[in-house]
Amino acid sequence: MTSDQKIAANRNNAKKSTGPCSQAGRKASRRNALRHGLAIDIGTIPAFHGEIETLARTLSRGRQEITECAREAAAAELDLTRIRKIRARLFETTYFADTATQDGLADLNMLAALERYERRAFSRRKRALRAIRQTD
């Protein structure tokens, strides 16, 4: 069992580790856990809002208002496009760039692991598009 003295020492030490203090340090550390950004919901990225709305309007053709299904399908379609581009870029850097790594098999397995994001986006879009067709 941990002694009280040790717990107190741990707490004191923890107070000293407060992470990056400067603006630049905080900005840099914000991206520490970011690997490819595919887990982020595209709808929460402001840069994509305009494109989502434009595509959703195309999918809601003939209606006065953009439906939620159309928005969902548009976001999933943009997500699919984004995922495919990222996978292609990773493939390119892994196998064709001068900086290609030695452990090709591990990279290939990592690329395969990224497929799950594509499958997820595909299923999301499938459900939304079916809902659009049924309410047409």
Residues that bind other proteins (CB under 8 A): 54-55, 57-59, 61, 77, 80-81, 84-85, 87-88, 91-92, 95-96, 104-105, 108-109, 111-112, 115, 118-119, 122, 125-126, 129-130, 132-134, 136
SS3 103: coil
Q: Residue 20 or residue 95: which is nearer to other proteins going by CB?
A: 95
In this complex, which beta carbon is closest to other proteins, that of residue 18 or of residue 134?
134
Nearer to other proteins, 29 or 54 (CB): 54
In 10 A of CB 101, how many CB atoms?
A: 11
What is the three-class DSSP state of 118? helix
Specify the residue, 43 or 90, whose C-beta has the smaller distance to other proteins: 90
Helix (H) or strand (E) holding 125: helix 104-135
Least distance CB 76 / other proteins (angstroms):
10
Give residue for tokens 């591990």: 106
Compute the distance between CA of residue 11 and CA of residue 1 in angstroms, rounded to an integer. Answer: 16
**Taking the complex as a whole, how short is the minimal distance between the CB of residue 40 and other proteins, in angstroms?**
19
Residue 43's nearest CA partner among 83, 72, 81 is 72
Tokens of 105: 């098999």
* CB nearer other proteins, residue 43 or residue 110: 110
Closest CA to 132 of 74, 47, 49: 74
CB of 42 to other proteins, least distance (A): 14
Nearest distance from C-beta of residue 85 to other proteins, angstroms: 5
